[in-house]
Amino acid sequence: MTEIDGIEWRVSPGLTPYDEALATMEARAAAVLAGEAPELLWLLEHPPVYTAGTSAVAGDLIDPRFPVIATGRGGKYTYHGPGQRIVYMVLDLGRRGRDVRCFVHGVEGWVIAALERLGVSAFRAEGRVGIWTRDGGPEAKIGAIGVRVRRWITLHGLAVNVAPDLTHFTGIVPCGLPDYPVTSLAALGRDADLATFDAALALTAPVFLSSLSCPAEA
């Protein structure tokens, strides 16, 4: 088992069905809470699927060409599919400051740091959760974040567009933001595959993890 700072780092090959991943993640969260398993950072891909977060609006589902699954994470409609790196995070915030805002801020910073290693300048946007970039063009979303925290254990996580089929996003209003397009490393002309992006995530993970113990006033 590969570890980063005592946390299991798991990379699953191929496409993992969404329901299967959700069940595995839920079971792991229960085990972490019980002290029976280490925390987990799980990197995977899904077959094409639309997921609806707790704030999803029916009108944002334009063309349900793929399975649509309601999920307990925050946010609205999101697409997952091949070429997109999903990272599910089962982390114990009970010993990391108990600050959800700090956690989300840290996740954004992690992705921004990883993208910087691949030559992509990304940033946070006030009032819009996620990771954004211009990179010589219009402002576009390259990474989405949707998390749930239950009994201070985190579930779900992030999705970064490495080289997905961006036309698959047209079946929804991604994250309920019709005025902003989505982009990917491939669309930005970066010759990066999943393994390359994974390596960038691994290199920047320790700083991300150390950032989660924010002061109570953060």
CA dist 17 → 13, 24, 162, 182, 190 (Å): 12, 11, 19, 23, 28
User: Which token pair is 90?
Assistant: 């089962």
Nearest-5° angle of CA 191, CA 195, CA 199? 100
CA distance 198 to 215: 29
Nearest by Cα to 146 from 99, 173, 179, 108: 108
Nearest by Cα to 147 from 138, 156, 139: 156
CA distance 23 to 110: 26
CA distance 136 to 190: 13
Active site residues: 175
